[in-house]
Amino acid sequence: MVCFRLAPVPGSGLLLLCLVLGAVSSYALELNLTDSENATCLYAKWQMNFTIRYETTDKHNKTVTISDLGPATYSGSSCGDDQNGPKIAVQFGSGFSWIVNFTEEKSFYSIDSISFSYNTNDNTTFPDAKEKGVFIVSDHVAFRVPLNDIFRCNSLLTLGKNDVVQHYWDVHVQAFVQNGTVSTKEFLCDKDKTLTTVLPIVPTTVPSPTTTPSPKEKPEVGSYSVVNSNGTCLLATMGLQLNITHDKVASVININPNTTNFTGSCHPQTALLRLSSSSIKYLDFVFAVKNENRFYLKEVNVSMYLVNGSVFSIANNNLSYWDAPLGSSYMCNKEQTVSVSGAFQINTFDLRVQPFNVMEGKYSTAQECSLDDDTILIPIIVGAGLSGLIIVIVIAYLIGRRKSYAGYQTL
């Protein structure tokens, strides 16, 4: 174990850097950054190698691999302060520099971007490079990790293409370490998740109960609305569950209305409801008018952050759900599925929407989905003045039904 005492970094006090150099055959890098109170603020351990392609003086392309990083220094690494986020800076070999920075947002932190620079003036590594100088490649990675979790990826992660390909494996990193204690709760990259399902770490003949996915609980119902200069113009009340299928694995996500933002717009022929949260960049519901007297859900556009940092986006503008007459609302209490694509479905619960003709911020008469009523579609008339009449009709209907049942029994 080697420790460096670094010059004080403004705003972050005295830094003490300790790095454990692994066995000579392994080039694992390890960094335990501490703040002015000697409390760990950032911990990282990882392995990496690089393949760099460059053009030679005789107009050929050559590739060079940097896998033995040799002794590394970590100057410039910092816990961060009010202005700057934490970062890890590593220098190795002849003029190689590698920097990753982190950002924090609500209950997550992100591995923001990685920048790697190399100097082709180094004649040992790049003997015949046509262009001499410092080259920098930057990749925005945006891995999102829950705060207080350590990110782990034993699998190989590949970044970049063309001139510089970067490989990372055996990655363990936690930024914004709380109370100086590195978490034991691991947040796995997608590739490690599939690894554990394919190859269970503890081989056992008895199937583990955790391998059977527990039925996901019902999502909480959220109330969403859009307001324009004339007041509320769109109303939606619903519980939403997203079902994303990736590599034949379905992930089911319940939308938490408490942490979901909403906005939208209303026009004579279309209306938009847009939901967003820390994991959903946007989820758009676009409603349209058809035949001048009905509305329906025409389009869903979604863009979400996946756990491995990539973005999942799907749009379908040829849908036909939630169809009801203009001037009424559409209602469906039972679970219904909006199939946006083979890979993306939305399960709705206790749904009620009215994208047009909202009066005084309240829902109009509801048209119920066929799922709620197994005979025919009956509009439920919501109106205090008519409720007496409805009760009479309902009683008459029930008596009528009893009679017909009784009739069948006597046969």
Ligand X SMILES: *[C@@H]1O[C@H](CO)[C@@H](O)[C@H](O)[C@H]1NC(C)=O
The footprint of ligand X (CB under 6 A) covers 37-38, 49, 55, 60-61, 65, 67, 84-85, 101, 103, 112-113, 115, 138, 148, 156, 162-163, 167, 169, 178-179, 190, 216, 220, 243, 245-247, 250, 252, 256, 258, 272, 284, 286, 301, 306, 308-310, 315, 345, 347
Question: Three-state DSSP class for 160?
Answer: coil
Residue 122 burial by CB count (10 A; 0-12/13-18/19+): exposed, middle or buried?
middle
101 or 277: whose CB is closer to ligand X?
101
Rounded to a whole number of angstroms, the minimum distance from the CB of residue 36 to ligand X is 7
CB of 127 to ligand X, least distance (A): 17
| 153 vs 366 by CB, closer to ligand X | 153
Question: Cβ-count burial of 76 within 10 angstroms (0-12 exposed, 13-18 middle, 19+ buried)?
Answer: middle
User: For the chain, how far is it from start to end, CA to CA, in angstroms?
Assistant: 92
Q: Closer to ligand X at the Cβ: 144 or 352? A: 144
**What 3-state class would DSSP assign to 387?**
helix
CB of 293 to ligand X, least distance (A): 23
Closest contact distance (angstroms) between CB of 186 and ligand X is 15
The CB-of-28 to ligand X minimum distance in angstroms stands at 11
Query: Alpha-carbon distance 31 to 19, whole Å?
Result: 5
Q: Which is nearer to ligand X, 259 or 387 (CB)?
A: 259
Compare residues 37 and 292 and give the one whose CB is closer to ligand X. Answer: 37
If DSSP codes are grouped into helix, strand and coil, which group holds residue 140? strand
Give helix then strand counts, H and E, for the chain.
2, 28
**Token duo for residue 181:** 């204690």
Give the DSSP per-residue string, 267-326.
Answer: -SSEEEEEEE-SSEEEEEEEEEEETTTEEEEEEEEEEEE-TTS-EEEEEE----EEEEET
> CB–CB of 41/79 below 8 Å?
yes
Do the bridges between strand 186-188 and strand 150-153 make them parallel or antiparallel, or are there none, so unpaired? parallel
Q: Smallest distance from the beta carbon of 398 to ligand X, in angstroms?
A: 35
What does the alpha-carbon distance between residue 261 and residue 278 come to, in Å, rounded to a whole number? 9
Minimum CB separation of residue 271 from ligand X in Å reads 10
Q: Least distance to ligand X from the beta carbon of 71, Å?
A: 18
Q: State the Cα–Cα distance between residues 116 and 50, nearest whole angstrom.
A: 10
Nearer to ligand X, 336 or 347 (CB): 347
Nearer to ligand X, 193 or 381 (CB): 193
- Specify the residue, 228 or 404, whose C-beta has the smaller distance to ligand X: 228
Closest by CA position to 224, among listed 232, 233, 234, 236: 236
Shortest gap between Cβ of 230 and ligand X (angstroms)? 21
Question: Which residue number, 160 or 327, has a Cβ lying nearer to ligand X?
Answer: 160
CA 223 to CA 408: how far, in whole Å? 45
